[in-house]
């Protein structure tokens, strides 16, 4: 029988550790959030983060800019926030509006000092991940992108062996796919990153022992993509007329999988928990 992987117990443990650390500390962390534009999904994600901060007694400060705000103005505010002692973490809600180029995004993200970059997108944090500068997932000296770390720790928590396993990731973004492939590679997995240009992709996914989808394409993956007894981590959060669905057609694959994560309710809450952990670890 297939087993549904949940993050509930893991997130509970994370929040217990966070609350314990907050009780022992005289330093109260604050989180600054930069929002550019008015995307509904971005606003939803920001509200979820702020709600969790409120529950933990963490102050949040939201800075909203319109789509015509010059990059220099956004960076100037971030530079000011870098110097505020009470601000322990700064996040820039992605994606930015289409008006902003890849270069603009790079300069904005890298204006956050690495220690306060709790999302893990600064090139110093990404560079440390590439070089595997720390093997500890707790109290590491740098931050790893939260969703990538969440997927990795979920596998660890459920004691799913990755050593020597072929792990295929569908989606190669710097936010999830790329950093996750590095985490897995550093821990003995054989990883394959697929993207929109990958040819004969089903031949690749059918060879996977573990399949992780983070491509943002609703119900792209069905039973024809996978072999028997595979483990699937579905990171997709796709807003449709029928509600939120994953990248994987859950009902179609359920009879073939060994383990699978539900959407919604697994990776999303875990990502927020790890963001909170990064913030509190910055005290």
Of the candidates 52, 117, 119, 209, the residue annotated as catalytic is 119
Of the candidates 134, 147, 209, the one whose C-alpha atom is nearest the C-alpha of residue 178 is 147
Tell me, yes or no, if 119 is annotated catalytic: yes
Residue 86's SS3 state is coil
Of the candidates 189, 191, 182, the one whose C-alpha atom is nearest the C-alpha of residue 144 is 182
Q: Are 2 and 254 contacting, i.e. CB atoms less than 8 angstroms apart?
A: yes
Tell me, yes or no, if 258 is annotated catalytic: no
Tell me, yes or no, if 93 is annotated catalytic: yes
Of the candidates 35, 49, 117, 209, the residue annotated as catalytic is 49
Of the candidates 88, 93, 117, 247, the residue annotated as catalytic is 93
- Residue 165 tokens read as 């396993």
- CB proximity list for 109: less than 8 A, separation 6 or greater: 92, 117, 121, 122
- Residue 191 tokens read as 């990883």
203-211: Cβ within 8 A, 24+ apart: 204/168, 205/168, 205/170, 207/166, 207/168, 208/166, 208/167, 208/168, 209/165, 209/166, 209/167, 210/155, 210/160, 210/162, 210/165, 210/166, 210/167, 210/168, 211/167, 211/168, 211/170
Q: Are 221 and 169 contacting, i.e. CB atoms less than 8 angstroms apart?
A: no
β partners of residue 32: 61, 90
Chain centroid offset of residue 276 CA:
12
- Residue 114 tokens read as 């690495």
Active site (catalytic) residues: 49, 93, 119
């Amino acid at each position: 029988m297939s087993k549904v992987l949940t993050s509930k117990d893991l997130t509970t443990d994370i929040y217990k550790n966070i609350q314990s650390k907050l009780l022992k500390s005289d330093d109260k962390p604050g989180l600054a959030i930069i929002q550019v534009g008015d995307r509904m999904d971005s606003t939803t994600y920001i509200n979820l983060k702020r709600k969790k901060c409120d529950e933990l007694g963490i102050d949040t400060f939201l800075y909203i800019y319109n789509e015509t705000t010059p990059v220099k103005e956004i960076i100037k505010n971030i530079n000011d926030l870098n110097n505020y002692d009470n601000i322990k973490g700064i996040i820039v809600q992605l994606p930015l509006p289409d008006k902003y180029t890849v270069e603009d995004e790079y300069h904005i993200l890298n204006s956050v000092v690495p220690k306060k970059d709790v999302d893990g997108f600064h090139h110093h944090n990404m560079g440390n991940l590439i070089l595997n500068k720390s093997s500890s997932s707790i109290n590491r000296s740098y931050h790893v992108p939260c969703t990538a770390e969440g997927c990795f720790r979920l596998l660890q928590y459920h004691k799913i062996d990755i050593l020597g396993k072929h792990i295929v990731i569908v989606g190669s973004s710097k936010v999830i796919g790329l950093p996750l492939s590095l985490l897995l590679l550093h821990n003995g997995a054989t990883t394959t990153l697929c993207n929109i240009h990958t040819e004969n992709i089903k031949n690749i996914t059918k060879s996977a022992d573990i399949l992780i989808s983070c491509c943002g394409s609703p119900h792209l993956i069905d039973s024809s993509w996978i072999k028997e007894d595979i483990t699937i981590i579905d990171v997709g959060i796709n807003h449709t007329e029928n509600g939120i669905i994953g990248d994987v057609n859950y009902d179609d694959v359920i009879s073939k999988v060994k383990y699978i994560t539900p959407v919604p309710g697994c990776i999303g809450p875990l990502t927020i928990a790890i963001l909170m952990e990064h913030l509190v670890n910055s005290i």
